[in-house]
């Protein structure tokens, strides 16, 4: 294999980074690709780096079941191996998985969404201190999308929060270890609560046939579950909590299985059996679809050095609350205004049909000045083009702004920056957006 020919801008790396946001730990922007033999090469054709499967990373209760379903690629999320591909490239790969998600119904192993339980007399008071919204606005047997910020206003996690009882909340985590943070906040026992991870693991049921499938399993009561509503149920003799939510913006639900380590097979196989008539397919979480819907991914589109005002999550910050962690810092950020924002971009190049191994460089309209980077990217069947999110100085995030993006050789054989344009999001409307998803999806 030949060594990748670098673009002029990449060949002089590190380029002028003066327009990038100043961070304590900079984003690694070297375009090193996914192959030690061929720098810059990525995608399913790359030689790639082998992942060691050992005891240091948890397998989760559905690991072996994902293997049986054909999973052949993993990443690590919340210190748990995370399935990232089932259908082989020669059979259509992840874009074939997209068809099942948007035309039929799919089941995802999302045990990586670790469940952190906060339980005790002061549960609501404690939760109200650590989230930026009012905990009291979440009624019992309801769920909410929430964010937790540190004292500097950085986003630590954006979980789904479930309220099972007056004195019991669960945080269904995105990709950061929130258990340690929550226990640290209450290390001196200011609040009368217990904070622990529990043996509950979800699967997601996503796609246009998800409601008929769930109705077959749980009965007509599922029709009464509102968006972000909860209900208790049983499947295969196992106790579960069902939420009407998901990471795809298609119609969907999550099944939270109690005693998941013991009950995994019973629940999983029961869903597979019930799903046969609906063409159910086990697939990886649909990042192509979540990007189309404007759904963010912690670790890609945000981290602890990104604040809510930079990523369209300002609607999450309720300054009417008496206090919460990060309130003072967030007030200062709001008053000063942000210098950088996340925005939607549509771009050229060959179809991106695999997870980017790098944060692709974004240049100005002349293709000379480095102005930012792509955080998430994929080919969108709805847009019939490559789409993504770009983190840029505010002046470059206006709708219609022309940009250039440096893509890997596999998507850009000419090795020249492809043209891009800042566009409105979502790229494809969610099935049932709710207020939150509608607001978050609008980056500008």
> Do 25 and 163 share a domain, yes or no?
no
Over residues 309-335, the mean pLDDT reads 97
What CATH number should be reported for the domain holding residue 134? 3.30.1360.120
> Do 277 and 246 share a domain, yes or no?
yes
Residue 38 has pLDDT above 80, yes or no: no
> Do 315 and 439 share a domain, yes or no?
no
> Do 430 and 372 share a domain, yes or no?
yes
Separation of alpha carbons 347 and 345, rounded Å: 6
Predicted pLDDT at 409 = 87
Separation of alpha carbons 300 and 152, rounded Å: 19
Percent of residues, the chain, with pLDDT higher than 90: 84
Nearest Cα neighbor of 292 from 405, 389, 390, 380 is 380
**3-state SS, residue 55:** coil
End-of-domain residue from the set 295, 322, 337: 337
> DSSP letters of 319-366?
TTSS--TTHHHHHHHHHH--SEEEEEEEE-SS---S--SS--EEE-TT
> Do 75 and 172 share a domain, yes or no?
yes
**3-state SS, residue 373:** strand
Question: Phi and psi dihedrals of 288, rounded to 5?
Answer: -60, -40
> Do 439 and 311 share a domain, yes or no?
no
Residue ranges making up the domain that contains 39: 1-53+339-444
> Do 232 and 265 share a domain, yes or no?
yes
> Do 172 and 313 share a domain, yes or no?
yes
Percent of residues, the chain, with pLDDT higher than 70: 93
> Do 311 and 412 share a domain, yes or no?
no
Q: Give the model confidence (pLDDT) of 174-214 as tens digits.
A: 999 999 999 999 999 999 999 999 999 999 999 999 999 99
End-of-domain residue from the set 337, 372, 404: 337
> Do 249 and 319 share a domain, yes or no?
yes
> Do 315 and 343 share a domain, yes or no?
no
Task: Tell me if 262 sits within 8 A of 269, measured CB to CB.
Answer: no
Number of domains in the chain: 2
> Do 317 and 367 share a domain, yes or no?
no
């Amino acid at each position: 294999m030949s060594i990748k020919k670098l673009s002029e801008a990449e060949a002089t790396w590190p380029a002028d980074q003066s327009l990038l946001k100043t961070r304590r730990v900079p984003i690694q922007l070297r375009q090193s690709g996914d192959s030690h033999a061929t720098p810059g090469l990525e995608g399913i054709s790359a030689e790639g780096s082998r992942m060691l499967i050992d005891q240091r990373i948890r397998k989760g209760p559905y690991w072996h079941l994902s293997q049986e379903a054909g999973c052949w690629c993993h990443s690590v999320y919340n210190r748990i191996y995370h399935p990232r591909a089932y259908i082989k490239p020669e059979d259509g790969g992840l874009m074939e998985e997209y068809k099942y998600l948007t035309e039929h119904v799919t089941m995802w192993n999302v045990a990586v969404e670790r469940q952190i339980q906060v339980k005790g007399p002061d549960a609501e008071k404690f939760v109200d201190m650590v989230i930026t919204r009012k905990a009291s606005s979440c009624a019992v047997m309801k769920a909410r999308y929430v964010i937790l910020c540190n004292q500097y206003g950085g986003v630590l996690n954006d979980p789904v929060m479930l309220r099972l009882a007056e004195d019991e909340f669960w945080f269904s985590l995105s990709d950061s270890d929130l258990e340690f943070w929550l226990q640290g906040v209450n290390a001196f026992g200011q609040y009368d609560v217990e904070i622990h991870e529990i043996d509950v693991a979800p699967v997601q049921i996503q796609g246009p046939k998800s409601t008929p499938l769930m109705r077959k399993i749980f009965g007509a009561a599922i029709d009464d579950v509102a968006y972000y509503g909860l209900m208790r149920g049983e499947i295969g003799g196992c106790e579960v909590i069902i939420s009407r939510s998901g990471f795809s913006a298609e119609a969907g639900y999550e099944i939270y299985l109690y005693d998941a380590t013991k009950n995994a097979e019973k629940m999983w196989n029961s869903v597979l059996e019930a799903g046969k008539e609906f063409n159910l397919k086990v697939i990886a979480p649909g990042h192509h679809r979540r990007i189309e819907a404007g759904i963010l991914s912690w670790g890609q589109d945000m981290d602890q050095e990104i604040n809510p005002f930079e990523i369209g999550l300002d609607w999450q910050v309720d300054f009417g609350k008496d206090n919460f962690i990060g309130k003072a810092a967030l007030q200062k950020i709001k008053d000063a205004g942000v210098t950088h924002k996340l925005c939607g971009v549509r771009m050229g190049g060959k179809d991106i049909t695999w997870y980017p191994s790098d944060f692709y460089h974004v240049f100005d309209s002349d293709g000379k000045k480095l102005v930012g980077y792509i955080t998430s990217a994929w080919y969108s069947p709805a847009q019939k083009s490559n789409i993504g999110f770009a983190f840029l100085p505010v002046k470059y995030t206006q709708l219609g702004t022309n940009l250039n993006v440096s893509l890997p050789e596999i998507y850009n054989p000419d090795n020249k920056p492809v043209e891009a344009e800042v566009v409105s999001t979502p790229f494809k409307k969610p099935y049932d957006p709710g207020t939150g998803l509608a607001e978050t999806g609008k980056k500008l």
